[in-house]
Amino acid sequence: MVLLSLGESVSTGYGAPSGHGYFELLRENADETYPEMTDIELARVLPNLRPVRKASNSTNSIEHLREISALPIYQPDTFGIVCITTGGIDLIHYYGKAEPQEGAIYGASWEQAEPWVRNFRARLDEMALALQEKFPGGCAVMLATIYEPTDGVGDIENAGPLFWLPAWPDGKRVHGAFNEALRDCADVHSHVHLVDVHGVMLGHGIHCRDRTNEHYDADDPTYWFFVNLEDPNRRGYDAIRRVFLNGIVDALRVEPGFDVPALPGP
């Protein structure tokens, strides 16, 4: 079995201490930091699992498709668990400091962004089909939605302090369209499984202490983003690990050859 990471810095674990990125924690828990997760790790139940790291910092979806195209074709006796975070760099670059363009659309109007959203959706299909070809023995593609640090408000100009991003009037709409494209891809391809990273991070951005925010988490009103806003902090990576892990369990439950216990209840 192969555990493959693809995407940008969220999948490299940028900003997290060594061994505390979500991808590393999936394979092997950091027991001293998260004792409650001891033995709740893929290495425990899938001893033949081999990690392959292909994610790269500051890469966009165009580059991710190229990376997938360059992968080898694995042997038919190899199953792939593929973790992808893609599209976030397409949205954030170049921080409003350059004219928007495909793959770096920050600040674009909806009219500018709409064809780039369609192209992103088409690239996701290409990624899904290419990964199916790379793993003739089967694969479960875990496709993450894209978080944002404003807890659904859309006031990115109030996020900081590192970049002091300019306001993006259509940013919330564009971000929503990218996430809709990710959801559509998972709906279309049976081997693609959506991981709702966006949902799990809501309530832990710049409005995490705002009790009037619809996503306010009274049990844990804490901030889960790194100083650069593009990446999670350690707490965020732990939350992302857990939602990925739950998604992998659900995905393998429907794959032949995996003895995954059924959920309790009717």
Predicted confidence at residue 265, as pLDDT, reads 60
Predicted confidence at residue 262, as pLDDT, reads 74
Q: How far apart, in Å, are the Cα atoms of 242 and each of 154, 165, 223?
A: 26, 30, 17
pTM of the predicted model, to two decimals? 0.96
Regions of the chain where pLDDT drops below 70 = 161-163, 263-266
Q: What domains are defined for the chain?
A: 2-253 (3.40.50.1110)
Predicted confidence at residue 163, as pLDDT, reads 67
Are 170 and 91 a contacting pair, CB within 8 Å? Answer: no
Predicted confidence at residue 189, as pLDDT, reads 98
Predicted confidence at residue 260, as pLDDT, reads 85
Q: What is the pLDDT of residues 215-249, one digit of tens each?
A: 999 999 999 999 988 999 999 999 999 999 999 99
